[in-house]
Amino acid sequence: MAQANVGSRRAAESLIEQGRVRVNGEVVTLGDKADPEVDVIEVDGERLKIDVETHLYIAINKPKHVLTTNSAQRGDDRRTIRELVPVEGHLFAIGRLDADSDGLVVLTNDGDLAHRLTHPRFQHTKTYRVVVDGLPTQATLDKWQQGVHLEEGKAAPSIVTITKGGTKETVLRVVMTEGKKRQIRRVAAQLGPPVRKLTRIQLGMLQLGDMRPGEWRELTPREVEALKTPASELKQLRQAKAKPVRRSAPQNGDRSEKPHSDKPSRPARKSSGKSSNKPSGARPGTAQQSRPARRNAERSERGKR
């Protein structure tokens, strides 16, 4: 449907959910398949004219201050990446970059592949060369790798390693599977030190290579396979994402809590101040006399006699 210029992928999904799309006369649902060369596809009763085209894959080194979009918003006079690639037809961008960053972007008319390589659910890897001011501590790198909280939620784990360190600036290699808006720059600004330069050097296993800024070329079939293949760090990233959060061990002197019981506790007895033990042979209502007291009483009784 995107090839027929009906709209974006999300717009096409909305049309399907509304029951406005039919294939061979039957209303379709999300997930149904159709072959435009064989099947009759209709939207609102009109048959789509779909030109089956050969898939095109183009790699470009996006320069700084160039927008990763097909057309800029009104009033924005910055160049777009499509102006640098004079190819007819709609092209999807695999791996958007903010205007202040440069590096590898792939343009393609293969909408399904673009979706699989950009949606966070599929966890496809992206690798960056990041230059920051100063030398970050290991504690900072650990927090970065674990994922920090941003306004829209916690960032997924990433792999951050130092490739060249110094007191003035440090070069980091960052591998990640998601791409929130300006994520690397925002994380670095939160943890410190800030980003000085950011370049994407790899998508999956496809490398930027020695292409100069603004240069582009079509990918070979082998390079397309490299694009589809995630980097070797993906296994480590998935393990970090699945790892449960460890609770800190109790400190010395902490008392462990007793297990909760549903049985009501018995009320404590009030103390009367008197012993409740009655000796055998004692008469009810009388207190037992001590042994010296009994002797004195016996002597007094003999004296009366």
Phi, psi of 8 (to 5 degrees): -70, 175
- Per the DSSP assignment, residues forming a β-bridge with 98 are none
The pair of structure tokens assigned to 11 is 């717009």
Q: What would the DSSP string read from start to end of 130-175?
A: EEEES---HHHHHHHHH--EETTEEPPP-EEEEEE--SSEEEEEEE
Dihedrals phi, psi of 11, to nearest 5 degrees: -65, -40
Q: Residue written as tokens 């809590």?
A: 257
Compute CA distances 287 → 62, 196, 292, 294, whole Å: 103, 93, 15, 12
CB 287: neighbour CB atoms within 10 A? 10
Joined tokens for residue 164:
């060249």
Q: What's the CA angle centered on 72, arms 70 and 76, to 5 degrees?
A: 160
Q: Which residues pair with 106 in a beta bridge?
A: 59, 94
Interhelix angle 138-146/183-191, rounded to 10 degrees, is 140
76 in catalytic set:
no
User: What residue has token string 């995630």?
Assistant: 230
Please give the Cα distance from 40 to 44 (Å, whole number): 13
Residues 144, 156 contacting (CB under 8 angstroms): no
Q: Single out the catalytic residue among 39, 51, 76, 98.
A: 98
- By annotation, the residues acting in catalysis are 98
